[in-house]
């Protein structure tokens, strides 16, 4: 059985939840805890110049066309022949062009991960995880999470957690969403109230209200 959450709920240190006086119901105070789940890794990056943006967009478009033209079995060979100079901005740009084409995005990201001289950043990992989760490709997403953990556990951040919990909730995978909350400790993240509220809000957002209330009162 998972550790109980209730000891956190009425702590004086946190005021995210309020205890009901009569009817037992889930109460969430809408403030801005999710700000720490924003993509801070992209905010920390230096702002590229217009020329740099134009160059990145041009290369991303070339890769997009290459991915669209090639058969799956030839994509990695074509990318190797193309030999683009990889950067975090370029990888993100290409992935965002394939948000509805998870297979091309996944093949491209795997090729990028194995390319010499470049290691994907947290932003790129989070982007591909969001694409895979949106398409309910959770096996592939979990494989990438394992890869992140082995390469550098600190790459798994609050944004990663928010993406996975949100996508599990959207797919009505309540048990997986809940288990991911408890896995935070494995990734070096705290089991705190803000993370628990993110779980509840994600469940409620996708009409899993009864599950959220059960978790709240368990």
Nearest to 214 by CA among 34, 36, 5, 21: 5
Match 């993240």 to its residue by tokens.
189
pTM of the model: 0.77
The answer, yes or no, to whether residue 80 has pLDDT greater than 90, is no
With 90 as the cut, is the pLDDT of residue 52 above it? Answer: no
Mean residue pLDDT across the chain: 81
Q: Categorize the per-residue pLDDT at 32 as very low, low, confident or very high, splitting at 50, 70 and 90.
A: very low
Beta strands in the chain (DSSP E): none
Q: What is the pLDDT of residue 69?
A: 79
User: In the predicted model, is pLDDT for residue 124 greater than 70?
Assistant: yes
Residue 61 pLDDT > 70: yes
In angstroms, the CA 11 to CA 38 distance is: 26
pLDDT of 28? 56
């Amino acid at each position: 059985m998972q550790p109980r959450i209730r000891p956190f709920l009425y702590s004086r240190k946190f005021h995210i939840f309020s205890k009901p006086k009569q009817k037992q119901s889930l109460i969430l105070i809408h403030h801005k805890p999710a700000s720490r789940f924003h993509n801070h890794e992209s905010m920390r990056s230096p702002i590229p110049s217009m020329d740099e943006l134009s160059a990145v967009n041009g290369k991303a478009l070339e890769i997009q066309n290459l991915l669209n033209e090639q058969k799956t079995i030839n994509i990695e060979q074509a990318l190797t022949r193309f030999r683009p100079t990889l950067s975090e901005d370029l990888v993100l740009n290409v992935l965002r062009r394939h948000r509805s084409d998870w297979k091309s995005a996944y093949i491209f990201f795997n090729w990028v991960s194995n390319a010499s001289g470049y290691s994907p950043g947290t932003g790129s990992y989070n982007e591909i995880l969001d694409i895979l989760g949106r398409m309910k490709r959770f096996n592939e997403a979990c494989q990438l999470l394992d890869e992140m953990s082995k390469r550098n556990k600190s790459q798994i951040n609050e944004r990663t957690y928010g993406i996975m919990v949100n996508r599990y909730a959207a797919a009505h995978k309540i048990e997986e969403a809940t288990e991911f909350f408890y896995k935070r400790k494995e990734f070096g993240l705290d089991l705190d109230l803000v993370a628990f509220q993110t779980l509840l809000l994600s469940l409620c957002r996708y009409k899993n209200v009864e599950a959220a209330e059960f978790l709240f009162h368990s």
